[in-house]
């Protein structure tokens, strides 16, 4: 059954998150503009697997789409590589190795396009924030580029 798998996944995620060592030198950035005043209690509507945002169904081909992955790499080089390595090692944010295994495609695409809300609502994002000490700024990706980056992440995780 899927539920137990989900918990396994969450346990794995927690393990990985804690490997994101606390060596960051930067301080927390601007507090979010609209702080929820309910002390972070997740609303019952929040989907912790897919995250919050416009992406509720992302369909992936089992095979890699090289074109998308190439465009995604270009986005990575310009907008993401300053904070994310492609290995499992933390830079400012967590390394991307295995990210497509620990997060659903919808979660990733929502996180990169709706970063503030996810950081406010998502327990996994908040756990990363505690360790990384920096709020990932919204990178203003188009939907298309969010998809391209996701494909590049899949490539980085060995999808062929």
- Count of alpha carbons within 13 angstroms of residue 139, beta-carbon side: 22
Tell me which stretch binds ligand HEC (CB under 6 A): 3-11, 39-47, 48-56, 89-97: 89-97
Distance CA 120, CA 150 (A): 22
CB 146 within 8 A of CB 115: no
CA 82: distance to chain centroid?
15
Please say whether the dihedral angle defined by the alpha carbons of residues 117, 123, 124 and 130, taken in this order, is positive or negative: positive
Minimum gap (Å) between residue 57 Cβ and ligand HEC: 18
58 binds ligand HEC (CB under 6 A): no
Residues 93-152 that bind ligand HEC (CB under 6 A): 93-94, 99, 103, 108, 111-112, 119, 125, 128-129, 132, 134-137, 139, 141, 149
Residues that bind ligand HEC (CB under 6 A): 75, 79-80, 82-84, 92-94, 99, 103, 108, 111-112, 119, 125, 128-129, 132, 134-137, 139, 141, 149
């Amino acid at each position: 059954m899927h539920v137990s798998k989900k918990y396994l996944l969450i346990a794995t995620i927690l393990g990985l998150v804690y490997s994101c060592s606390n060596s960051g030198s930067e301080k927390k950035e601007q507090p979010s503009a609209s702080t929820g005043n309910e002390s972070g209690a997740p609303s019952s509507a929040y989907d912790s697997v897919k995250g919050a945002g416009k992406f509720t169904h992302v369909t992936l081909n089992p095979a890699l789409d090289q074109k998308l992955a190439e465009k995604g790499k270009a986005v990575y080089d310009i907008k993401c590589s300053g904070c994310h390595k492609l290995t499992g090692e933390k830079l400012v944010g967590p390394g991307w190795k295995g990210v497509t295994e620990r997060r659903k495609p919808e979660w990733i695409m929502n996180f990169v396009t709706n970063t503030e809300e996810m950081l406010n609502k998502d327990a996994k994002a908040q756990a990363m924030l505690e360790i990384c000490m920096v709020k990932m700024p919204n990178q203003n990706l188009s939907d298309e580029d969010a998809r391209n980056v996701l494909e590049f992440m899949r490539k980085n995780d060995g999808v062929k």
